[in-house]
Structure 1
């Protein structure tokens, strides 16, 4: 990777606060956060002839997109799916240009089925496989329950949780109630829904759970991981790793951004692309403080946690399906393993706990977490061999993320996502939490980075007072991919 990473930094930042006439120097911006949104924003601003520095608190770029290579092949420990395998996806030109293969897990454009029903192998606690007819039948029942729950929300002016909505539906429609094994399969479907939102069903807004926009083309796994895209976008950028921002002074003639080593950077504007969990924790102070409407949005949007415990084996002993699941009488007791062997050819299973279960597992050591996941597996597949390697994510407690991705909290308006995106003077906001249409997705984060860059560019150049320059800079924004339309390499097995 060819980006310049000045970890220690010089005494004087290159984004000076000198009083030379604005006409005699380049417009400048500071981007805070090196995830997909921040890298996209910095890339676009650099293309628009801005002087840009990107400050990243970690010792790597990517943020909640992290492709690990310690097994000798790529494994995404954070975001791994492309939601919307189609040319309309804003990431498609990059994926096509780099020749990155996608393994399509579902052609269904819904929240519920990012994998086709026939790709599940579910087992009860005694290791007996649930008949496929029952899996599909209960899947249909679950869809009907959610349809009835949506009718319920349309009749009500207030909001309630998905869990509460389902409870009321069951009381009104006893025929939808499931008993025994069928009920356990129903709980597994609800557990998978909780995984989509990275939180428990009693936290998810019934009014807004299905309000995000899903692109056509279904869902697909990035076979070689997301790293090639982020590395390509980052090429040539001035990136300062291990630079944790602690204070932002904004307004007036520019922004002044201080990092944990005491160094201060100055620029005309700043794009803030840190995870919502970090903003919630108030680990960055703003002077003056952000307006009430912005703080209300930060506080009101939910942030959930879904983690990955990746188990690498020397042999494949599991069924040739995309998901291996354990059903239980509670969602907390259910579990699922993503089979990477089907998509990548490597003997890897990924255990994916979400919500309260993820929170509880984060309290364990990595060794104990891997043991816990393997114990779940051994209960249903007695011939399971011990993993030879493992990896464990900690998105909920990692101070650089403090959560995996956002969801609609009960009783909070969906417009909070748009409020979070809305600029404040010369501060511009980006990230999956600022995308009202594509919340929680990589392409959502990428799109908001481009949007924040464009807003920053317009605002700063207007302040320069030379509106003619607005058109000079504009054509360069992303021109290197605008004319490309490379077909996506999509496979199914």
Structure 2
């Protein structure tokens, strides 16, 4: 039995739970037990190699990127960016008012914090930058070029933060476990910078090929996107913010037809499809946590405005970090500040004092309170940290010996079975001529898989790929 939508699934789940709790135990069978049937072999072969991310389980990330949670506002991103006593500054993608959740948003926020600092400081002052991700390195680069003495302190043993490029001899290309794309490339210079660094990238058209569980290719219905659009329009007219889930209920999503239409897909299935393959993917959060006022609207990015990075996103950070003083594998546990200096305590027990500091750790780390601020951050900053959400999106990269699929589509999606964890796949074959697939899992599904071992994670991915496997035609017996 397949579940139709996240709303109907929730109600059905409660009913099934109640029934299972009240049902009497079934009598044990007597006589000769029936042999257990051997499961049919999977149509998807085992991969030659696998790499995965688990950002929510990463203590130095605690999520993938920020999102607009219910009752949060864009102003709170601005509040977080306000300097504190002109000594302490915060930066990161969560503080970007124009491009949150993106590399360009993180870098822009870091540069903004550095400019705010330079406007109140004297060249030569000693500045600590906490975090060597896109925001931290961008801030440190600008400050160093402006004549400040900069020390970057990074908890990981590598640069990049949530930009995580893996170079391995067993892979024919760099593997991106963090961001892979340049979004809105017409509005920023990331593609030009990567070209200057001789990092290859290519246009990417995210037009999906949608398949049902039995592998039938079906045109994408506008029902799901139209339903979400109507819910967001309703939410925008309300006096108070509400979740996207409640907005969907209010606009009649629970009355969508569950009757199978073309290819056995119902209107309710198409709503689930929109949420799983687009809306939740963009925010990394389920609909019951997303703001109805600020949740991403369907199809807001132009099809010709996306590029995929093929030659190593991490090169961007490595180049900016050239000749910077970076202290790796050093966790900052306490940040003390006054109107004259900033003191830092490391996990090793060591302490140092600087004139000013920029904190660029992810929102998920700030929400976890693992860094002690003394005195506590101002109320507006703490309120913003509590209100904004941290979403999760994880990836799995699979390299096969040869393609087991027969489609040249670059993006694969599934509709009609929301028990599959990986609902979106990128086929690297037409882009790189390599039999590599990249799967995406987000929201509650990502959180559910985060602590699973590599075998469980891979098995979930392979099951999600079955609609795209070539079904061999059986040869009749002579």
TM-score (norm. length: structure 2)? 0.66
Equivalences for residues 154-169 of structure 1 within 5 A: 154-169=236-251
1:352 aligns with 2:452: no
8 Å Cα contact 1:178-1:186 kept in structure 2: no
Q: 1:293 aligns with which of 380, 399, 407?
A: 380
1:156-193 alpha-carbon deviations (Å, 9 max, x no partner)? 11122222222322359868998551433442221012
Corresponding residue for 2:330? 243
1:251-279 alpha-carbon deviations (Å, 9 max, x no partner)? 22111111111222221110100001111
2-structure distance, mates of 1:31, 1:76: 25
Equivalences for residues 407-426 of structure 1 within 5 A: none
8 Å Cα contact 2:421-2:460 kept in structure 1: no
Corresponding residue for 1:36? 134
2-structure distance, mates of 1:24, 1:305: 40
Q: Which has the larger radius of gyration?
A: 2
Corresponding residue for 1:189? 274
8 Å Cα contact 1:67-1:74 kept in structure 2: yes
8 Å Cα contact 1:68-1:76 kept in structure 2: yes
Partner of 1:201, secondary structure, is coil
Residues 151 and 242 (structure 1 numbering): CA distance in 2 closer, same or farther, change over 3 Å?
A: same
Residues 146 and 213 (structure 1 numbering): CA distance in 2 closer, same or farther, change over 3 Å?
A: closer
1-structure distance, mates of 2:301, 2:418: 32
Q: 1:375 aligns with which of 463, 468, 478?
A: 463
Equivalences for residues 82-481 of structure 1 within 5 A: 82-86=182-186, 88-106=187-205, 115-116=206-207, 120-126=208-214, 128-132=215-219, 135=220, 138=221, 140-170=222-252, 180-183=264-267, 184-192=269-277, 193-210=279-296, 218-318=305-405, 319-330=407-418, 335-378=423-466, 380-381=468-469
Partner of 2:147, secondary structure, is coil
Partner of 2:272, secondary structure, is helix
Equivalences for residues 2-21 of structure 1 within 5 A: none
Residues 122 and 46 (structure 1 numbering): CA distance in 2 closer, same or farther, change over 3 Å?
A: same
Specify every segment of 5 or more residues in structure 1 that has no aligned partner in the other structure, as ranges: 1-22, 107-114, 385-493
Partner of 2:124, secondary structure, is coil
**Higher mean displacement: 93-102 or 296-305:** 93-102
2-structure distance, mates of 1:270, 1:103: 37
Q: 1:64 aligns with which of 135, 151, 162?
A: 162
1-structure distance, mates of 2:300, 2:257: 31
RMSD: 2.8
